Amino acid sequence: MVGPVLIIHGNEEQRREHLPRIAAGEVMWCQGFSEPGAGSDLASLQARAVRDGDEYVINGQKIWTSGAQFTDWIHVLTRTDPDAPKHRGISYFMLDMRMLGITVRPIVQMHDARGFNETFFEDVRVPAKNRLGEENRGWYVATRTLDFERSGVHRAAAVERVFRPLLEHAAQPGSAGEGRRIVDHLPNRLALADTAIELEVGRVLGYRVAWMQSRGLVGNCEASMSKAFNSELSQRNARRAINMLGLHGALRPGSAHAPLEGRYCASYMSTVSATIAAGTSEVQRNIIANRGLGLPRG
Ligand SMILES: Cc1cc2nc3c(=O)[nH]c(=O)nc-3n(C[C@H](O)[C@H](O)[C@H](O)COP(=O)(O)OP(=O)(O)OC[C@H]3O[C@@H](n4cnc5c(N)ncnc54)[C@H](O)[C@@H]3O)c2cc1C
């Protein structure tokens, strides 16, 4: 999501520095947008950046920073003009995670994963050349970033990756030894067809955004449609799989009795957050209603 935004908003020096390494997969980035008091209402963020000569000094806290413990760079939103209307006093920075004053503290999730973190900034001195876009115009760079974050066809691909093994499992012989397959015992086998149909829809929604990008357009409400549909599909698919596999389906990875290495239990728990990450389903629907359908803001 950083690469395309750099192509649109970065200057020549910033593009030369970052794009080749992003394209080669040599660097990992994390996103420092959300704060304890700024999630859906992101523009109310409070992290501060104060200009000091050729540098800015950044102080504040971010939360839910996915992968911050592994990444090399972070793109961060900060407030540079506290007196301006909230969308107009924000600036966007790119920071090397090794900079002095950045601390990362993990947040442990209910399925024992450590996917995201709290990230603290204490007097972090960042060169002014690391600002992406104009001072106080960072909000517009941020919304572009979110369009790219929401656009990915990867969500449908992720559902496909957990759906295919379930199909293969369903075609295996059942335990009763009467020549019937597992699928013949399933009470809700038609749900497999529902997922197949929805996967096709989800893939096409993702491809539509990719097609727009190939024409130099940035999908906005189209990206929100793809994000909302595919993140909700990931939950439906996990729920259907758990129901099909019966009580054993709820066993965690590592259990000897867990079918398919417990991946559906893991996917059931991890997809709970899919409709929150990258903007909640309610936020996506607001965007679709407002920017896509032209309805007034609710
Ligand atoms: C797995 C995961 C990974 C994440 N990774 C990152 C990351 O790497 N970097 C980062 O910066 N952030 C990250 N986030 C944070 C994510 O962007 C926020 O959680 C999200 O924007 C929602 O904000 P919130 O959690 O503060 O919820 P809130 O904004 O407090 O929302 C609470 C509830 O109110 C509803 N709501 C709020 N406003 C409205 C409205 N106007 N209309 C209708 N309903 C509304 C919401 O839909 C939600 O149901 C991640 C979150 C998750 C779950």
Render pLDDT for 2-27 as a digit per residue (tens, 0 to 9).
999 999 999 999 999 999 999 999 99
Choose, from 149, 198, 222, 232, the residue flagged as catalytic.
149
The two structure tokens encoding residue 69: 């413990």
Residue 298: predicted pLDDT: 72
Q: pLDDT tens digit string along 110-128?
A: 777 888 999 999 999 999 9
How many helices, marked H, and strands, marked E, lie in the chain?
Answer: 9, 8
CA distances from 265 to 62, 69, 117, 243, 248 (A): 30, 25, 23, 11, 9
- Model confidence pLDDT, tens digit, residues 256-278: 999 888 888 888 988 999 999 99
On whether residue 144 sits in a domain, the answer given is: no
Q: Is 149 part of the annotated catalytic residue set?
A: yes
* Bridge partner list, 60: 121
Alpha helices (runs of H) in the chain, residue ranges in sequence order: 2-9, 12-23, 138-151, 154-170, 182-185, 190-214, 221-245, 263-270, 281-287
Range of the domain at 32: 2-136
Contact 4, 213 (CB under 8 A): yes
Ligand 1 shell residues, CB under 6 Å: 30-34, 39-40, 64-66, 116, 273, 276-277, 279-280, 282-283, 286
Q: Rounded to the nearest whole angstrom, what is the distance from the C-alpha of residue 39 to the centroid of ligand 1?
A: 5
pLDDT at 266: 86
Task: Choose the residue to mutate in 1, 34, 121 for probing ligand 1, maximizing ligand atoms within 8 Å of C-beta.
Answer: 34
Number of structural domains (the chain) is 2
Whether 222 and 120 map to the same domain: the answer is: no
- Of 80, 111, 136, which residue sits at a domain end? 136
This prediction has a pTM of 0.94
Of 101, 136, 171, the residue at which a domain comes to its end is 136
Q: Which of 280, 282, 286 best tests ligand 1's pocket when mutated (most atoms within 8 Å of CB)?
A: 280
- Report the CATH number at residue 241: 1.20.140.10
Residue 97 lies in a domain: yes
Contact 30, 77 (CB under 8 A): no
Q: What is the pLDDT of residues 73-103, one digit of tens each?
A: 999 999 999 999 999 999 999 999 999 999 9
Is position 79 within any domain? yes
What pLDDT was estimated at residue 64? 97
Is residue 145 domain-resident? no
Q: What is the pLDDT of residue 2?
A: 95
Q: Can you tell me which residue has the tokens 């929150």? A: 276
